[in-house]
């Protein structure tokens, strides 16, 4: 008759090894193991065949304390999506806004040095920004709202 296998003689999976590996990483991070001990136990970890082998690696270590993860701050979605369309819209908006600001500054300097208000030709530079606004309003480059 076949004898039942003792729990410590049961074979282990990679998932079992991963759990013990995290315990070893925690112990090393807490200063319970130095790097040499951690390295040696990590080698033994992946050579382990049974639950007894794994238990031997952590037998002198305290139980791993559950740590409460820090609350994750909820990030506001950006104005533009991370897609190619969003990147293109972002770049084009920066370029055309920069051109617009430069033209307004030049118009202001010309008006001041001329002593009178000059025709506001910079207004024509608004056309590309209006086109980008229309595209954005139709969803091009806009992040999805979940």
Alpha-carbon distance values, 115 to 87, 104, 105, 112, 121 (Å)? 42, 16, 15, 5, 17
Q: Choose among 15, 40, 16, 14: nearest CA to 27.
A: 40
Q: What is the value of pTM for the model shown?
A: 0.45
Q: What is the pLDDT along the chain (146 residues), one digit of tens a residue?
A: 678 888 788 899 888 999 999 999 999 988 999 999 999 999 999 999 999 999 999 999 998 766 555 556 666 678 888 888 889 999 999 999 999 999 999 999 999 999 888 898 888 888 988 998 898 888 888 887 76
Q: How far apart are CA 143 and CA 80, in angstroms?
A: 6
Q: How far apart are CA 100 and CA 130, in angstroms?
A: 12
Taking the domains of the chain in order of start, what are their residue ranges? Answer: 8-58, 84-137
> What integer pLDDT is reported at residue 78 of this predicted model?
80
Q: What are phi and psi of 89, to 5 degrees?
A: -65, -40
Q: Choose among 68, 62, 67, 52: nearest CA to 16.
A: 52
Q: In sequence order, which residues have a C-beta less than 8 Å from that of residue 87 and are 6 or more positions away?
A: 80, 141
Residues 17, 57 contacting (CB under 8 angstroms): no
């Amino acid at each position: 008759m076949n004898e039942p296998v003792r729990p410590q003689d049961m074979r282990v999976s990679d998932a079992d090894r991963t759990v013990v590996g995290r315990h070893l990483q925690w112990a090393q991070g807490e200063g319970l193991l130095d790097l040499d001990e951690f390295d040696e136990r990590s080698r033994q970890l992946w050579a382990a065949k049974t639950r007894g082998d794994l238990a031997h690696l952590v037998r002198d270590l305290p139980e791993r304390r559950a740590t409460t993860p820090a609350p994750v701050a909820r990030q506001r979605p950006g104005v533009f999506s991370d897609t190619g369309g969003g990147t293109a819209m972002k770049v084009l908006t920066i370029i055309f806004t920069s051109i617009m600001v430069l033209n307004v500054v030049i118009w202001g300097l010309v008006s001041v040095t001329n002593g009178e208000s000059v025709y506001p030709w910079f207004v024509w530079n608004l056309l590309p920004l209006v086109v980008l606004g229309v595209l954005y309003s139709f969803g091009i480059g806009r992040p999805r709202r979940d």
